[in-house]
Structure 1
Amino acid sequence: MEREARWEFRVLGPLEVLRAGEVIEIPAAKQRIALATLLLHHNEYVSADRLTEPLWDGSAPDNARGAVHTHIGRLRRTLGDAGKPIQTREQGYRIEAGPDDLDLARFFHLLDLAARAARTGAVAEEAGLLEQALALWRGPLLGNVPSESLHRDRLAGLAERRIDVLERSFDLRLQLGLHAEIVADLAAATTAHPLRERLWAQFMLALYRCGRQAESLEAYRTVVRLLRDELGLDPGDELRRLHEAVLSGISDLQLPLQGERPAEPDARNALGPEWHVLNQLPPSSADLVVRADVIAAGQARAGSQDADGLPIVMLCGPPGVGKSALAVDLAHRLADRFPDGQLYLRLDGSSPGRPRDPAEMLAELLQSTGTHPASIPDGLEQRSAAMRARFAGRRILLLLDDVADVPQIEPLLPGEARCLVLLTSRRHLVGLPGVDVVKMTPFSGEESRELLGRLIGHERVAREPAAADAIAAACGWLPLALRIAGARLAVRPNWSLARLAARLQDESRRLDELVTDDLAVRPSLELSYEALPEPVATAFRRAGLLNGSDFAAWSLGVVAGVADGEPLVEHLLRANLLEAVGTDVSGEPRYRLHDLLSIYARELLAGDDPADTRTAARRYMDTLLTLADRCHRELDGHIALDDLRPVPYEPVATLPEGQVAELTDAPLRWLLAEHRQLFDAVERACDHGRHVQAAALMDRVTPFLDVYAGRQEIERLFTSVRKAALAAGDERLAWRAEYYRNGQTLARGLLAEATAGLRRCVDAFERLPSPYEYAHALGALSFCLHEAGEPGKAVELAGRAVEAAQAAGDDSLLAAALRDLASGMSALGEYDEARELLERAVSIARRLGANASIANILGRLAGIALQHGDPPTARSAVDQAIEALAQTDDPYGAAWLLWLKARTSLAEDRPDDGIGHAVQARARFRQLGDQRGEHLALVTEGEALVALGRGHEAAPLLDAAASALAELGADRMADHARAVASGIPDSPPSSP
């Protein structure tokens, strides 16, 4: 064939035909299908019957053979007669092509040459030949050839072969030390083929060899999530071994070629160096707008790392406020102060997956700094101790990004005061000792304009300053939203800023505007939604009832009105309209709609029949009530004496009994897992006039969730219930809610406020009348008056409560009334009578099997015994109370018992023990938000210091506690604090 008449065919991408270097267009789809089929079977005859399937995909016409002949004839005319590339014989049609004529033939020819090079060990030659072969691929195979059967039957295998070659090519280039040159290619390959574990292994190794250990570990976490989410599988042995090797910091790390057995590590070098100095910090953002106040706060704290206690700087604030970017920048600024390493961990506290396990992260820290995997202990506490020992004597900066909660990071904190911990979290984490909190707020106007200027040019912003400010305001001054707005303006240089500002003024479409290419917008959501079958579409809309919170599959089934929510969840996951967010504390998988999807679902729900929506909401409330009622009954022994009997409720069978039993198998965990949905349901019920259901639900969950959810949140919910009940004319339920609300106020230490509120409750219950609630309110008010230093009034009220409880025949109520009466009698000097009353109350509680009540009464006995100089009785009561409380989950009660233990130690002349217990109690009270308890513990700490002869340290503590207790209305304890302070000698201790 002459050169000018030479034919070139290309199938490794869109179908292309060249003759003498000139492209020949083939506009007809059927001609392209026929030509592609012949080229895929080059050098062999293809019968008309074999051409029928790819041409018509199973819908061939009656005279298919004639139609095939017609299409081949037209194809010949399109190609032209010169060279006659299509040969016709009785057995069919053929195109003869070799490596010089057809890219597919050249691809396989190069693979043959590469195989020969491999057999001789010529690694560089093999790598070069494979690179040539891969370079022939120009895009999706035959992307312009519309034949389903052709793509299914012939091209899938070719695509798989290309990936195999790609993996072999990467293997060879890694052997040749070309890791830096292929990192970008491997990143693209793992994106294109996310489930190919070999590509991920190669990517991890290339990153590691480039000194990017943190990114290598992040790649491993990414593929683990992908495999589990998509296939439900864990990574294979190769990936796991490589992960361990990267963590261990093994030098000269190799990845065996496909099919080779991995070499065993040399035991002589297994331990590695004694300490690996690492800088794992991600790079700083090039367009970061620095916040001088935050940087100054971090630098000041870093400068105090020789002081007592571990320096911790926490950057907290709402999503999109720029916490992580600023923390990374601050870490880089401080890096030179910490020569032993700058370590980075992302904790995934707000990611779609489950927050990372502290034990796993400790293993990562230990291995990355040189500890051999075999030397890492199994337990969380043991790993934490090993990490602190490892960090001892070193100056290390530890950046913990996206923290979920305090328990997640407590095991990770070094014990070395010369270290520095930077952490970011969306929440203000309470309970971390010595933490400097930097509350990050949205940008100022100047900072917003600065960021927009960096993204689109300062001159453009200067031309329209008012419009720039309007855009920033519409974005809520959040850096994330401003970046999206800036990105849109950057790709539209012909847009004025005023144009975008005007578009953002419409709140109904603002979320549509504040998106970029990688976020879904309403039109794309509509396409996905409209493709859903009707039951799944209904479920998607009604997920809007779940208020954007995460939920379990059964919840989606209930609002959708189907028996099993799992198929609905699976459908929505596949359609990318739902995301998995790990598992909750009860072990149940959780899911959520993205914020934009949640808004979209609620928009769709507004178009449904309101009666259907109300029915779905009631069904969900009935289900939550049924499950909460089961949990309440299972946890009956954990309920405190001061809790009322719950509002009667008849369970509704919306779920099978077996599923109800399974979900509530660990009742407290279920309540904790669902607390957000439970509280949202209370709000919805109040808003829609269903106050009885709201009250019934609150009665069943409050005894177990008030400490965990926050007492102010519980107060707010009881206020909603009270208002809804009053609107319905139901005074009894309204005052029950008010009684509970004041109980939460009292638990926060606001004694005066709670006393005033409980007086109103007593009057209301007496007026209604409501004798059961009246007796409870009398007891609670009696306790308040006792704490306020009015024992006579307290005894009078407690006596009335005892009479009311006896008249009602309620043993639990009687035990509570006896307890409160004993407190009053003790204050009047009647210790023996008080003890007798408390012993009677304990006997009742033991008969009822109420462990929380037993602990509560014994704690009261310990306090009274201490007041009357009887430490042995106090010690016995405290020990028994702690034993009883161990059968429950009551952190609030545990804090009070710890305080009593401190006071008992003081009474037994053991002030050193007293200080330790008091400090612990004060920290717990602070974490629980109980101001009264916190300052009572402070008084005890001051008393212990006085007993140790350190009155100069105790005086300011006692003065602060007295002022705070007086302000809270706890006059008796405030007077006690002042009395202790007044006995401290004026002269300071002599110098040693």
Structure 2
Amino acid sequence: MGVLTRPELPPGDLRTLSEALHEAHHRAGRPSLRDLAREVGCSRTTVSAVFSEPRPPRWGLLELVVEALGADPARFHALWLRATGGMADAVERPPVPTALLRQTPSAVNGFTGRDTLVGALDQLLEPGPPAAVPIGVLTGTAGVGKTALARQWAHRRAEWYPDGTLYVDLHGYHPGPAVTAHDVLGEFIRALSPGKAAVPEGSRERAGLYRSLLAGRRILVMLDNARTAAQVEDLLPGSAGCAAVVTSRDSLGELVVHYGAVRLEVDLMKDAEAHDLLSSLVGERVTSEPGPVAELIGTCARLPLALRIAGELIDSRPGESIAEMADELRGLDLLDGVRAVFSWSYEHLEELPAQLFRRLALHPGSRFQLAGCAALLGVDLRTARTATDTLTRVHLLERLPGNRFRMHDLLRLYSTEFGETSPEASRRLFDVCCRDARAAATYSSAAADPKNRGQQWLSDERATLLAVAGVSGRHAVELSGILAAFLDAGGHYDDAETLHGLALRAATDAGERAGALDRLGLVHRRRGRFDPALAEHSEAAVLFQECGDRAGLASARQNIGIIHWRCGRYPQALDALEPALELHRQAGNRSGEGATLFNLGIVHRRLGDYPRAAACHEQAVALLEEIGDRPGLGKALNNLAALLLYRGEPEPAQTALLRGLEIQRHLGDRAGENAVLSNLGLAQEQLGRLDEAEESFRLALRIADEIAYPVGRIDALRGLGVTAARRLSFGRAAELLREAVDLAGQLGEGGSRIGATRELGEVLLAAEASAKRTSGASAGPDSRASAGPRRLVSGASAPDAFPEAAAVLAEALRAAVLAGDRYEEAMTRVALGDPLGAELLAELGLTPGASPAPAA
């Protein structure tokens, strides 16, 4: 059972919508926030906001909640339209640069025929009144022109979808693994939400966020080359105004039955259409030899792909009649005829492009870089370009922007029939992939990369690099080290866990095994799995020590220290971090030295030694700035600001945080951006700017949910809870802080759990006290700025008069004393009315005043 907060709204359409939603919740048996969040696929806070915030939610999110309650979406859509003034644009959503969503590949030159199918797509997908999402399924055999038709129609009707087109080739019949909906959702979310380079961990959460981002927009979703309905179900839009076009060799009957899709059969071209296509390619020669042309069309099975290849060959052999060419193919069945047309084109290639065509079968990815083509051939880029130009001219390869190429599945399958094997060519290809990835990773963290070209290259090639790791253990080990920082910063935790796992299995010595374990530990730490993370870092430390790798040992011990302070074990954290600092210095690893310094600063701050903490943070900032380590500097600035917030200095903290935020956003470090935003919210809260603080915390919470970063979620929830308390919304504050306490307890995040428990106790105390007071002046906290750690309650009576609050505060005190967290002990004693609290604060050089700040 669950009771949800009702917002205070004046009479009107928004109030009608809110009351209808709460009534639906009552009729559904009042399911809990936890159950609703699980059903909808997002956080409890997000679902709670749908019920409690005094503004309309996004339609896509509201629709999911309505469906979870078993209510009528059509009725609620009408209520929502009235509440938003009938305009989809009334819903608050991030702006989307239209150029980013023009993802449809270029239309096919010389496209002819298919008038009936084009008209059917027009009728099915033409925009109209709000209704179910129209879905067109173009089905037919390989090479029949499904993709060409879909692309041609999308370009012809682009104005129907002013917010753009999302496109993906699902590689359903590619020789390698098909693309999963889970991965595509990540790419679509990034395109719909520019600058948000990461996505939730779970597929359900990704699907929910994706449909929420589509809500209120007119977008065409093109899902090309699907193998099964399951591959596309999560990618279908859920909001009226959007539409989907799916192409597949399968009939995809489940989409028709369950989603109301309309299936359009793309049959072989009619004789007249095939004739027109050849005519557009080779001109008048087609009309001069009608009989041989008809025979050639039959041999090509009226498949556009085969006809294009045949047309190119005819055009390239002006001295030979079409009849002579048709004679070469006479007597073959349709399948062999198509294969013969492919071979016809292949056999007329010079040796270098022919060799490239065969060797592209060795490439594990679906898109080919020019540099990769050169590596397969063992030639320079200019020579490789000559080969790719030849293959694109004869339609055996398709050119993409940025010196990239792809191949039709039928041609890819045909290329594998040659059985080309060349371990040396594969090695060269994989070496080039690693070389270019290393260069991009180095460039992406440099100040000389203002447009993030290195990061963009890594994003574009991520799937290919992971495919390389999947087929070559040696290169998996190398790529694990190269891509670790990029995958971590972008929140690509699924890919990181897969890659580092491959590296661990492929490791051939203790050093390689230790490196993979250390990187796996980081992924598990990000996901809040502290126990396996600690085990992996500890095993890595033993292996690094055995092989005499000081830098590796320093990294492992530093990571062990971070786990300990995360769990509130501060003496153990010091025992790990202090040797790590010395090892980094011995190894000459100044970046590692800087990172260890600011982690030591965090521990000293938690233990109440502010002078030592300040020295550590200031040294870290100076060192990392000196060596130009921008990723490290962004984190160091954040942690220096956290100390300043503890000392009640919000203005210099804000200055450091804004600089750190710029760095983190430039680098695409989502976890880092989350931490900076939470601290920025605390600085704004201390300065009395509650609206700005709430916005910062909400953005931090959204990032944490997008990248499935639970520690970052705790920090944002605490900030929102404190801000709600400042507004005297004690019920809302307690709800947020309870969620933070629960999540911290689940993770074993000791420091955050102590702080959130203390804040919850203060909120309960304020709520109980204000209910008994008659004077508004002393009813609770205010939003005025003040120096020093500020209590959430000012002037409250003795806590023992309020049993629930006293019990929660007593729990916080026990935990703080056990952990040696002098700040939290002092603040909790103050809240409990214990005179020792003020004495402890004085020892720390503080006077009562601000709430604590999360660390990076």
The interval holding the TM-score normalised by the smaller chain is 0.5 to 0.7
1:902 to partner: Cα distance: 0.9
**Long gaps (5+) in structure 1:** 1-291, 313-323, 345-349, 370-386, 388-397, 453-476, 489-514, 640-660
Letter of the 1:930 partner, please give it.
Y
Instruction: Confirm or deny that 1:976 pairs with 2:759.
Output: no
CA distance in 1, matches of 2:690, 2:357: 62
Using the size of structure 2 for normalisation, the TM-score is 0.55
- RMSD across aligned C-alpha pairs, in angstroms? 5.3
Distance 2:156 2:189 in 1: 15
Q: How does 1:218-617 map to 2 (within 5 A)?
A: 299=74, 302-303=77-78, 304-306=80-82, 310=91, 335-337=128-130, 402=167, 405-406=188-189, 408-409=191-192, 421=218, 424=221, 426=223, 448=253, 517-518=303-304, 522-563=339-380, 564-581=383-400, 583=401, 588-604=402-418, 606=419, 608=420, 610=421, 613-617=422-426
Q: Is the 8 A contact 2:725 2:733 kept in 1?
A: yes
The answer on whether the counterparts of 1:750 and 1:931 sit within 8 Å (CA) in structure 2 is no
Tell me the secondary structure at the aligned position of residue 81 of structure 2.
Answer: coil
Out of 501, 511, 523, the position equivalent to 1:719 is: 501
Aligned pair 1:623/2:432, yes or no?
yes
1:8-157 to structure 2, matched below 5 A, reads: none
Q: Is the 8 A contact 2:744 2:750 kept in 1?
A: yes
1:671, 1:705 within 8 Å by CA — same for their partners in 2?
A: no
Contact 1:305–1:311 (CA under 8 A) maintained in structure 2: no
Aligned to 1:815: 594
Alignment-mate amino acid for residue 789 of structure 1: G
**1:399 shift after superposition:** 9.0
Q: Give the letter for the 1:939 counterpart.
A: R
Q: How does 1:879-894 map to 2 (within 5 A)?
A: 879-882=658-661, 884-885=663-664, 888-894=667-673
- The residue type paired with residue 614 of structure 1 is P
DSSP 3-state at the match of 1:977: helix
Residue aligned with 1:746, SS: helix
Amino acid at match of 1:697: L
1:701 maps to which of 460, 483, 493: 483
Deviations 1:277-303 (A, max 9, x none): xxxxxxxxxxxxxxx99x999747744
The alpha-carbon deviation at position 680 of structure 1 amounts to: 2.2
**Compared CA separation, residues 856 and 883, structure 1 to 2 (3 A):** same
The 3-state SS of whatever aligns with 1:565 is helix
Pick one of 446, 450, 456 that aligns with 1:669: 456
Amino acid at match of 1:560: L
Q: Could you tell me how far apart the structure 1 residues matched to 2:263 and 2:362 are?
A: 26
Show the 5 A alignment for 1:178-193: none
Counterpart code for 1:817: T
Contact 2:557 2:577 in 1 (8 A): yes
Write the letter of the residue equivalent to 1:596.
L
Call closer, same or farther: CA 1:850–1:880 in 2, change over 3 Å. same
Q: Quick one: which amino acid aligns to residue 742 of structure 1?
A: G
Deviations 1:772-810 (A, max 9, x none): 211111111111211111111111211121222233333
Whether 1:855 aligns to 2:634 is yes
Shift in alpha-carbon separation, 1:594–1:913, aligned structure 2, 3 A: same
**Alpha-carbon distance in 1 for matches of 2:632, 2:238:** 32
Partner of 2:470: 683
Q: Which 5+ residue runs of structure 2 have no aligned equivalent?
A: 1-66, 85-89, 94-117, 137-145, 169-186, 195-209, 224-231, 271-300, 307-337, 777-856
Larger Rg: 1
Match of 2:800 in 1: none
CA distance in 2, matches of 1:743, 1:435: 42
Deviations 1:187-226 (A, max 9, x none): xxxxxxxxxxxxxxxxxxxxxxxxxxxxxxxxxxxxxxxx
Deviation per CA, 1:902-935, whole angstroms, max 9, x where unpaired?
1221233322211010111122232233232133
Q: 1:593 to 1:353 in 2, by over 3 A?
A: farther
Deviation at 1:421, TM superposition (A): 5.0
The residue type paired with residue 188 of structure 2 is: D
Per the alignment, in what secondary structure is the counterpart of residue 789 of structure 1?
coil
Residue 419 of structure 1 deviates from its aligned partner by 5.3
Seen in structure 2, the aligned counterparts of structure 1 residues 852 and 417 have a Cα distance that, compared at 3 Å, is: closer
Give per-residue Cα distances to partners, 1:393-441, cap 9 Å, x unaligned. xxxxx89664873465469x999999565663658999x9999999999
- CA positional deviation for 1:519: 5.8
Q: How far did 1:842 drift?
A: 1.6
CA distance in 2, matches of 1:438, 1:791: 55
> CA offset at residue 887 of structure 1?
6.3
Structure 2 counterpart SS, 1:405: helix
What letter is aligned with 2:221? T
Tell me how far apart the structure 1 counterparts of residues 532 and 189 of structure 2 sit (CA, whole Å). Answer: 31
Q: 1: distance between equivalents of 2:551 and 2:560?
A: 15
CA 1:968–1:629: 2 relative to 1, 3 Å: same
- The 1:337/1:553 distance shift into structure 2, 3 A limit, reads closer
Report SS of the residue matched to 1:424.
strand
Q: Tell me, in whole angstroms, the C-alpha distance in 1 between the residues paired with 2:245 and 2:220.
A: 13
Q: In the superposition, relative to structure 1, how do residues 752 and 919 fare at CA in structure 2: closer, same or farther (>3 Å)?
A: farther
- Describe the shift of the 1:913–1:402 C-alpha distance in structure 2 as closer, same or farther (beyond 3 A): same
Q: Which amino acid aligns with 2:414?
A: Y
CA contact (8 A) 1:785 1:793 kept: yes
The aligned residue for residue 49 of structure 1 is: none
Answering whether residue 558 of structure 2 is matched by residue 779 of structure 1, we say: yes
Residue 757 of structure 2 aligns to which amino acid in structure 1?
R
* Aligned residues of 1:305 and 1:418 also touching (Cα < 8 A): no
The one of 754, 757, 761 equivalent to 2:536 is 757
Q: How does 1:168-207 map to 2 (within 5 A)?
A: none
Correspondence for 1:940: 719
CA distance in 1, matches of 2:456, 2:149: 19
| Superimposed CA distance per residue, residues 9-37 of structure 1 (whole angstroms, 9 cap, x where no aligned partner) | xxxxxxxxxxxxxxxxxxxxxxxxxxxxx
Tell me how far 1:720 sits from its aligned partner.
Answer: 0.5
Question: For 2:268 and 2:682, how far apart are their aligned partners in 1?
Answer: 61
Match of 2:698 in 1: 919
- Secondary structure at 2:368's aligned position in 1? coil
Q: In structure 1, which of residues 824, 833, 850 is the aligned counterpart of residue 612 of structure 2?
A: 833
Return the alpha-carbon distance in structure 2 between the equivalents of residues 833 and 517 of structure 1.
Answer: 75
What is the CA-CA distance between 1:977 and the residue it aligns to? 2.6
Is the contact between residue 215 and residue 238 of structure 2 (CA under 8 Å) also seen in structure 1?
A: no
Which amino acid is 1:969 matched to?
G
Contact 1:859 1:878 in 2 (8 A): yes
The equivalent position to 1:737 in structure 2, one of 502, 511, 516, is 516
CA offsets, 1:308-345, max 9 Å, x none?
67499xxxxxxxxxxx999999978x94459xxx9x9x
Compared CA separation, residues 536 and 918, structure 1 to 2 (3 A): same
Cα distance in 1 for residues equivalent to 2:461 and 2:611: 46
CA contact (8 A) 1:327 1:424 kept: no
Conserved 8 A contact 1:816-1:841: yes
Contact map agreement 2:557 2:576 (CA 8 A) in 1: yes
